[in-house]
Amino acid sequence: MKNINNKGFTLIELLVVVLLLTVITVISSDMVISMTSTSTKIQNKILLEQDYSFLDAKLTKLIKDADSVTYNSVTNELSIIYLTKTYVLKYDDLQKNILLDGLLLTDSEIGMSSPFSVSISGINPQVVTISFGLSKDFANPKLKTQSTFEKIITLNKTYQQ
């Protein structure tokens, strides 16, 4: 009788193993790509929220304590007037960003996604409403992140005494 050697794998068994490994690799790589995309979106949202908080605190303090404000819609400039100094808040169309006395107020990677809008109402007290959109763009449009900034600020010094 012939002795048959069964100490190995058949070609079909090897092909099944390779196929299973390929399926597992494809599924796991898709999950990694998805998690990376989600992580980037979350990081961008956090960056926008930090800029929003900074803008909120900076503009509120600057405008609330001012003696008066004026807005020039032609030049997109909000003048914040104190007795000793005037600050100019300007929307820069080229950089799509907000400048305070010529300095960027937001991260250079963040731009404006909607027009800068300012309205001033009242005399005693004077009320300023500022709104604009913030966005962080990437080459991949799926990673674009946006947030809307809208703030209503009442000037403390304009209350009639």
CB 154 within 8 A of CB 59: no
What's the pLDDT tens digit per position in 16-50? 999 999 999 999 998 998 898 888 888 878 877 88
User: What is the C-alpha to C-alpha distance for residues 130 and 98, in angstroms, rounded to an integer?
Assistant: 12
In this structure, the number of other CB atoms found within 10 A of the CB of residue 67 comes to 15
Q: According to the model, what pLDDT value does residue 4 have? A: 67
15 pLDDT above the threshold of 90 = yes
Q: What's the mean pLDDT in 63-81?
A: 85
Which pLDDT band holds residue 139 (cuts at 50, 70, 90)? low
Both tokens assigned to 62: 């600057």
Q: According to the model, what pLDDT value does residue 70 have? A: 87
CB 119 within 8 A of CB 145: no
Q: What's the mean pLDDT in 80-101?
A: 81
